[in-house]
Amino acid sequence: MNPAIDPKLLNDPVFQRVMADALSIQDRFAAEPVYAKTGKGFLKSAGVEELREIKKARRVPKKHS
């Protein structure tokens, strides 16, 4: 298997966004020792502020009757 990334993908805006997102959370991924060979683990929270932003984004505006 060739690990090189297809040059066409490197110019694709969707691929660039996905790669940027993946790289931005890479330091927060913690592999479980039991699963070290499989790459399984969990994502550590970035903190309370991140949770507030998620909750804020999920809020549905109330409908007025």
pLDDT tens digits along 16-50: 999 898 888 887 877 677 666 666 777 777 778 87
Tell me the domain boundaries of the chain.
Answer: 9-58
β-bridge mates for residue 41, sequence order: 31
Instruction: List phi, psi (to 5°) of 30.
Output: -120, 115
Which two tokens mark 64? 């007025």
Q: What mean pLDDT do residues 1-8 have?
A: 72
